[in-house]
Amino acid sequence: MTDKRILITGGAGFIGGNFVARALDLELGQVLVLDKFTYAGHEATLRQWEDHLNYELVRGDICDSDLVANILKDFHPTWLVHFAAESHVDRSIDSAANFIQTNIVGTFNLLEQCLSYWRTLDREDAAGFRFHHVSTDEVYGSLGATGYFTETTPYAPNSPYAASKAGSDHLVRAYHHTHKLPVTISNCSNNYGPFQFPEKLMPLVLLNALEGKPVPVYGDGQNVRDWLYVGDHCDAILQILAHGSKGETYNVGGHCEKTNLELIYALFEALTRHSELVAKAGFSPRDDYRELITFVTDRPGHDRRYAIDASRIERELGWRPATAFTDGLDQTVSWYLHNLDWCREVQQDNYERSRLGLAAEQ
């Protein structure tokens, strides 16, 4: 897979940025990132690749039909990997308009332009082309105390964000079944790791704990999520692109269910293990980070439990998560402690956009 031409939408975001790094590190071929740079996409995430011969960045909107058509024509991608999405549930509750525009209308535009592009390819190139759509387990709704989401679980989204992703999933599937466009879909559990936007749960807990600020916990803290290290997720997507069946969906999970409180306690333990690094970064290690926990009113429509059955991708494609949870936490905590300048830069960038009225969902 060293001769691919990979178009990555949303490559300046958390999972997209890690996927860019994986593709370039593995020398898979040429990589072009298309990103609008909304609140969670930042140039700082991609800065390390600026001078890489196999990397190119285009600042633009997936809803821009002419732009997407021209990129497809000029770049001639082998794979399109679609990460671009508005993905913060709380923001979707405050205002859903941008979620509908990006997640549904944007995906529709990509599909339309890819269909036109794909129809111009010769037989060999058309057979090798893939449109991979990255989605979420939130489209399935909420589980009870037992059971798992499978690829055949009925959709039952409970937030505007989840509903917008469900809509985009249905569009991708429809373009395959109606037009035979070679697509694949993955629905993943909660990711963690480097380059995650600081208002998401893990980095928010880490940064607040370091600064001695309250660590907010929704409701009783017993909501359960399945946690997946972002590098393992990127490897799963590569397996799907290389070996997945056209038109199929693959659930990608970490086999790692934690309540929000369990996750936060584990993060505190990781900070304690890295106390020397905490001090070196200019913070005072605490004897008990738990005293910072502050329970706050639960958010509307907060799903109680998600859990992924990833047996299909394991059975058919041979993928399993390779990173143990404790190892992943240690890598994550170490990365943030070594990259506090990145955190400050993206927080300042978002503040400036908000102040100027340019940030999404403000």
Give the active site residues.
Answer: 137-138, 161
CA distance 362 to 355: 10
The beta strand positions in the chain, using DSSP E, are 4-9, 29-35, 55-59, 79-82, 130-136, 183-188, 190-192, 215-218, 224-229, 249-252, 257-259, 293-296
CA distance 193 to 269: 16
Q: Which H or E run contains 94? A: helix 89-94
**Amino acid of residue 66:** D
* Ramachandran quadrant class, 78 (left: phi over 0; alpha: psi -120 to 50; beta: rest): alpha
CB atoms within 10 A of CB 1: 14
CA distance 222 to 280: 34
Write the DSSP string, 27-43: T-EEEEEEE---TT--H
Write the DSSP string, 327-347: HHHHHHHHHHHH-HHHHHHHH
CA distance 109 to 296: 39
Question: What are the b/e assignments for 15-35, b being 16+ CB within 10 Å?
Answer: bbbbbbbbbbeeebbbbbbbb
CA distance 316 to 47: 36
CB-based contact 215:106 (threshold 8 Å): no
